[in-house]
């Protein structure tokens, strides 16, 4: 009986020593264990899931292009000749942040502060405003650009509108908006100071 009790004591002591070594060496992270079981964290992840792919900003942009087209086919003039034209194509570009990409591995907490890494904002929706787009011939006669004309003569318009929005800083502004919107939400749920970073900046 004594030998059995002594063996149990030795086994228990060994386990305690291994745990202490694990904590001191960082193999066992107590804060992470506590974080995984945090009801506040589960509430935050649920909130992110409900927000989903969240729109942060919309840029209204113009893409300006010069080209040579058949003015008769384009409906500008009935002379069936090629002519230099100037097209001003208007569109809306949205930037979003996909909060469904945030998991428990993206949230780290200590006693006073929560550190959250966010996915980078991306362009999520693009559309052409045909009623606000026009094409001009050399005599500055104008015509509203319809969908068929866009597809025929300017097939890369959406990509060009996106590029223009990026050039004008839509993704940088989206980051600022994300910080402004999400910081108070996270702080209210976790009840502590919050430090936000984007994954691409880590």
Residue 175, sorted as left (phi over 0), alpha (psi -120 to 50) or beta, turns out to be: alpha
Q: What are phi and psi of 192, to 5 degrees?
A: -160, 170
Quick one: 114 exposed, middle or buried, by C-beta within 10 A (0-12, 13-18, 19+)? buried
Q: What are the pLDDT tens digits along the chain (202 aa)?
A: 544 555 555 555 656 555 555 545 554 444 444 445 488 889 999 999 999 999 999 999 999 988 777 655 555 555 566 777 788 999 999 999 999 999 999 999 888 999 999 999 999 999 999 989 988 876 666 676 778 888 888 889 999 999 999 999 999 999 999 999 999 999 999 999 999 999 876 5
0.75 exceeded by pTM: no
First CA to last CA distance, the chain: 57
CA dist., res. 75 & res. 160, Å (int): 24
CA dist., res. 113 & res. 131, Å (int): 50
Bridge partners of 67, per DSSP, are 85
Q: What's residue 2's pLDDT?
A: 46
């Amino acid at each position: 009986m004594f030998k059995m009790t002594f063996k149990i004591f030795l086994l228990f002591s060994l386990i305690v020593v291994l745990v202490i070594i694990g904590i001191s060496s960082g193999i066992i992270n107590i804060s992470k264990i506590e974080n995984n079981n945090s009801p506040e964290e589960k509430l935050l992840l649920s909130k992110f899931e409900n927000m989903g792919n969240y729109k942060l900003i919309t840029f209204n942009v113009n893409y300006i292009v010069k080209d040579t087209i058949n003015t008769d086919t384009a409906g500008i003039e009935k002379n069936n000749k090629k002519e230099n034209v100037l097209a001003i194509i208007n569109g809306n570009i949205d930037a979003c942040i996909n909060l469904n990409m945030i998991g428990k591995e993206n949230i780290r907490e200590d006693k006073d502060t929560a550190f959250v890494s966010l996915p980078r904002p991306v362009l999520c929706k693009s559309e052409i405003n045909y009623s606000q787009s026009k094409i001009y011939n050399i005599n500055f006669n104008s015509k509203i650009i319809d969908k068929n004309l866009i597809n025929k003569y300017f097939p890369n318009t959406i990509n060009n509108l996106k590029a223009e929005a990026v050039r004008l800083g839509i993704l940088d502004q989206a980051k600022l908006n994300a910080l402004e919107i999400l910081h108070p939400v996270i702080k209210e749920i976790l009840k502590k100071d919050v430090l936000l970073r984007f994954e691409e900046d880590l």
